[in-house]
Amino acid sequence: MAQTDTAVLEQFALRAEKPRIIRVQQSFVNFVRHKPLGAFGGAIVLVLLAMWAFPGFFANHEPNASVLADRNLGPTASHWFGTDSLGRDLYSRIVYGAGTSIKLGFGVVLLSATIATVLGVVSGFFGGVFDLLVQRVVDVGIALPGLIFIILVVTSLQNIEVWLRIVLAVGVISSFGQSRVIRGAAITAKQNQYVEAARVLGATDLRIIFRHILPNVFSVVIIGISIQIGGAVLLESSLSFLGYGVLPPTASWGRMLNEARDAMVRYPHLAIFPGLAIFFTVYSFNMLGDALRDVLDPRLRGAR
């Protein structure tokens, strides 16, 4: 038994001596090996981020350049995904639409994660009557009809840019459910002995929250962000499809589906390619989120 313990300690010592870059490379290789779907999703997410940052590098036409003589063309060598009813290159619009979806998706989840973390950590840490009041507010937020609330906010705040309205509405309405999960993690972290020790030593509530509670709920926040962003992209596309998203001529996958619905029987490529873009984006973020959950959640760390 002593030899086994010694061997384990030697393995940990060898790991600790390895340079950080080697440990990062090994972690990446293990992630790809054990979570291939998560790695596939992460690769697509990286491509989408690159499209957002450098759309001109991927697109082969101007997204809003209209050539009426080339309307509703199918896929060709010069127009890989064909053209729409105004003669605009569909592939280039999908590339630029990736930037719209990613920008709104990340804005939504950052706002949602911030609100959810504040509500969940503060409510779980202080408990008592304060927790009861906060949770009743959360109950009201969860009970709100999400789509109706979002449309109401988007149509009411006319003095703000439309993408900021979408981020505000979707971010607020999606934060309530996530705050419940973070609250549970905060309550669990609060019961650890080192939190009681810090309180006995005179640490303030603010110091305990930032030094001991937040680090323990950080993995829950990251998992929530990676999973929710796919839903945020899908919701943005739904809003654009209904006509409440970004204004034309800005490229948006949902609006492209909206514009294609009257002609998709005769020209199916108008709906197929934007639909596939939405599908692979949501699928990729969901697969990446599931893999990160398995890796970061101690209860699932051994899952394959």
pLDDT digits (tens, 9 = 90+) for 195-221: 888 888 888 888 888 888 888 888 788
On the question of pLDDT at 136 being above 80, the answer is: yes
Exposure b/e, 68-78, CB count within 10 A at least 16 = b: eebebbeeeee
pLDDT digits (tens, 9 = 90+) for 223-268: 788 778 888 888 888 888 887 878 778 888 888 888 888 787 888 8
Half-sphere exposure in the Cβ direction for 131 (13 Å, CA): 15
Q: Residue 22: CB partners within 8 Å, gap ≥ 6?
A: none
DSSP string, 200-226: HTT--HHHHIIIIIHHHHHHHHHHHHH
| 82 token code pair | 């064909």
pLDDT digits (tens, 9 = 90+) for 96-133: 988 888 888 888 889 999 999 999 999 888 888 888 99
What mean pLDDT comes out for the span 161-172?
87
On the question of pLDDT at 157 being above 50, the answer is: yes
- Quote the pLDDT of residue 1: 45
Looking up tokens 């996958």 gives 253
- Which whole-number Å values give the CA distances from 154 to 170, 228, 253, 258, 300, in the listed order? 10, 20, 18, 18, 39
Please state whether the peptide bond connecting residue 249 to the residue before it is cis, i.e. omega within 30 degrees of 0: yes
On the question of pLDDT at 178 being above 50, the answer is: yes
**Which amino acid is it at 142?**
I
Q: Which residue has the higher pLDDT, 276 or 246?
A: 276
- Quote the pLDDT of residue 111: 92
- Quote the pLDDT of residue 28: 67
As a whole number, the mean pLDDT across the chain is 82
On the question of pLDDT at 171 being above 60, the answer is: yes
Of residues 41, 102, 50, the one with CA closest to residue 294: 41
In order of start, what are the domains of the chain with their CATH numbers?
Answer: 34-62+83-300 (1.10.3720.10)
Residue 83 backbone dihedrals phi, psi, to 5 degrees: -130, 165
On the question of pLDDT at 11 being above 70, the answer is: no
Left, alpha or beta for 83 (phi > 0: left; psi -120 to 50: alpha)?
Answer: beta
Confidence of residue 95 (pLDDT cuts 50, 70, 90): very high
- Which whole-number Å values give the CA distances from 303 to 26, 35, 294, in the listed order? 18, 10, 6
